[in-house]
Amino acid sequence: MAKVEETGSYKGSEKLRPEEMIYQEMLDAILDRRLEPGMKLIEEDLAKTFGVSRARIRATFLQLAHDKLINLVPNRGAFVAEPTIDEAIEVFSARRMIEDGVARKVATSMTDARAAQIKNHLDREHTAHHDGDHRAAIILSGEFHLLLARLTGNLVIEEFLERLILRSSLIIAMYESPQPVDCSHTEHDQLLNALLSGDPDIAAAEMSRHLDAIRDRLQLQRPKPGKTDFASIFGRTPKSEAS
Amino acid sequence: MAKVEETGSYKGSEKLRPEEMIYQEMLDAILDRRLEPGMKLIEEDLAKTFGVSRARIRATFLQLAHDKLINLVPNRGAFVAEPTIDEAIEVFSARRMIEDGVARKVATSMTDARAAQIKNHLDREHTAHHDGDHRAAIILSGEFHLLLARLTGNLVIEEFLERLILRSSLIIAMYESPQPVDCSHTEHDQLLNALLSGDPDIAAAEMSRHLDAIRDRLQLQRPKPGKTDFASIFGRTPKSEAS
DNA sequence: GCATGCAAAATTGTTAACAATCATGTTGTC
DNA sequence: GACAACATGATTGTTAACAATTTTGCATGC
């Protein structure tokens, strides 16, 4: 629970430096879809909202853009990112490539203490799921992967994967199927078993399966998400194309 | 040759947008060690040098800091990064974890066209080495790894690895042994053979070996690089510690 | 009625001045 | 002579105003 709040709280720990707090708040808003994909982000409005100058908002924009959570268009402004289907596929493919390696490393360096650490996390995932706390379940699910990355002891991997997991969260928020089927907590159990086997190939294979499963649960076949498909809404084909 | 200039030129393609040009120039200066590790970067001086406002320099700083090429200290300013030995080890360990996956993917999706593409690159590496063009050899060596990343067809991996390779370049510039022993071009040949075998395990193993070899060629055992060790210089031990 | 061009409003991009903070050198005291 | 307090200069952080660009609304003409 504490862990959940630490990473995903709305305006949780208020002793953060203001710059970090603004990043965190905008991040949460995007992942919660209070800021919808494609939405224009106006500097002055945000500056007034947070009580800071436009310069700080601009700096925050650069961070968010670097993490691919917003798009920065010269002279036009900032827009909440709308990851395409191809992007979504690429992100999970990239995660597979990296997290396979993570799984290999964790599997071959497993200790009792580490196993206990993972089990403890899984307990919290199960609790959240049992309590029907969907939001906590999603956050903990992401943190499970981050925990494995941390167990490699490699900060570079950890930081990169953290960004990639955030990006995944936006993708999931955008493409998740209407009826939430977060059965992934049982998959994490299987993953732990694979890691405990100590066999890097088995661990990597299970990680690949898991990430593919997440991807396959998404609705990645919609015509063009975010962009309203008037033709299908009104049951007719467009008369002519706009210039 | 064209490729070399494209990525590593001093002030090459001047039709870049000014913001990108400034990033590129500072990047080149850091990797060339014209800007030494630890050096203070003063906003106003750079602004005058490039004929832009401090605001733009600040934005460029954020980019460079994100790539870990400079350190940003609140109220103190920006300093060229001084990767520690531990950081250097972590970067190459991270690359191994990722590039193993890259090698696996490239090995299992090899075609004649791709093999030719790689061979063509190796030819250019050999030429540069034969001509004694050390600078081009280093750049091409980095681009070899980037080429493999590109062959995975995954933009996420490609972009991340690009940053990691830049960071590696700074590390190599900082820790390379006095007598340049860039024998890595023959290692790239071996890597190609491993990729052509089509066996992902062989390819990954060869990639690991190669990256470990680069790391092991570095002088990663100095007491504290960048920070002058007066005690050893003057052959005596410090009398007392500074407060 | 619809497209085109123009004018106004909104928004981003840039600059310069000011405030806050940190580094440096000096002075005074013990 | 060493240390601390202080004053000075340099540098970063912030703000507000201005310029450039894009978007929007409206009027005109076909």
The C-alpha atoms of residue B216 and residue B209 are separated, in whole angstroms, by: 10
Residue for token digits 């962009």? Answer: A227
* Contact at CB, A157 and B55, closer than 8 angstroms: no
Q: What's chain B's length in residues? A: 243
Residue A136 tokens read as: 């906590």
**Cβ neighbours of residue A179 closer than 8 Å, sequence gap 6 or more:** none
pLDDT of residue A229: 47
The C-alpha atoms of residue B189 and residue B210 are separated, in whole angstroms, by: 11
Residues of A with CB under 8 A from a CB of B: 55, 58-59, 62-63, 66, 90-91, 93-94, 96-98, 100-102, 105, 152, 154-157, 160, 164
Calculate ∠ Cα A42-A43-A49, nearest 5°: 95
The C-alpha atoms of residue B190 and residue B118 are separated, in whole angstroms, by: 12
pLDDT of residue A221: 74
Report the protein residue whose CA lies nearest the C1' of nucleotide D15.
Answer: A53
* Contact at CB, A164 and B156, closer than 8 angstroms: yes
Q: Where on strand C do bases come within 7 A of a protein Cβ?
A: 4, 11-17, 21-23
Q: Name the minimum distance, in Å, from the CA of B147 to any CA of chain A.
A: 16
Do residues B191 and B107 touch, judged by C-beta distance below 8 A?
no
Q: Which pLDDT band, with edges at 50, 70 and 90, does A19 fall under?
A: confident
Counting one residue from chain A and one from chain B, the pairs whose CB atoms sit within 8 A come to 59
Which chain B residue lies closest to A200 (C-alpha atoms)?
Answer: B201
Residue A57 tokens read as: 């908002």
User: How is chain B split into domains, by residue range?
Assistant: 12-80, 85-217
ipTM of the complex in this document = 0.82
pLDDT of residue B152: 96
The type of residue at B134 is: H
Average pLDDT, chain A: 84
Do residues B57 and B47 touch, judged by C-beta distance below 8 A?
yes
Q: Which of A97, A105, A157 sits opposite B105 (nearest CB)?
A: A97
pLDDT of residue A240: 38
Please tell me the CATH code under which domain A85-217 is placed.
Answer: 1.20.120.530
pLDDT along chain B (243 residues), means of 10: 38 53 91 91 92 92 95 94 95 95 95 96 92 85 95 96 95 81 79 96 96 90 52 46 34
Q: Which of A55, A93, A157 sits opposite B94 (nearest CB)?
A: A157
The 10s digit of each residue's pLDDT in A112-144 is 999 999 999 999 999 998 888 888 888 899 999
The CATH number, out of the four listed (1.10.10.10, 3.40.50.300, 3.60.40.10, 3.10.20.600), of the domain defined by the range B12-80:
1.10.10.10
Please state whether strand C lies within 7 Å of residue A239 at its CB atom: no
Task: HSE, CB side, 13 Å, CA atoms: give it for residue A134.
Answer: 7
Q: Name the nucleotide nearest B19; use CA and C1'.
A: C13
Q: What's the average model confidence in pLDDT over A192-211?
A: 96
A7-80 shares its CATH topology with A85-217: no
**Cβ neighbours of residue A177 closer than 8 Å, sequence gap 6 or more:** A217, A218, A219
pLDDT of residue A138: 84
* Contact at CB, A97 and B94, closer than 8 angstroms: no
Residue B189 tokens read as: 């040949």
pLDDT of residue B136: 84
pLDDT of residue B200: 95
As a whole-number percent, the residues of chain A with pLDDT over 90 amount to 64
* Contact at CB, A157 and B59, closer than 8 angstroms: no
Q: Which pLDDT band, with edges at 50, 70 and 90, does A176 fall under?
A: confident
Report the protein residue whose CA lies nearest the C1' of nucleotide C12.
Answer: A75
Please state whether strand C lies within 7 Å of residue A70 at its CB atom: no
Q: Name the nucleotide nearest A240; use CA and C1'.
A: C2
The 10s digit of each residue's pLDDT in A77-107 is 999 999 999 999 999 999 999 999 999 999 9
The C-alpha atoms of residue A134 and residue B132 are separated, in whole angstroms, by: 61
pLDDT of residue B17: 65
Please tell me the CATH code under which domain A7-80 is placed.
Answer: 1.10.10.10
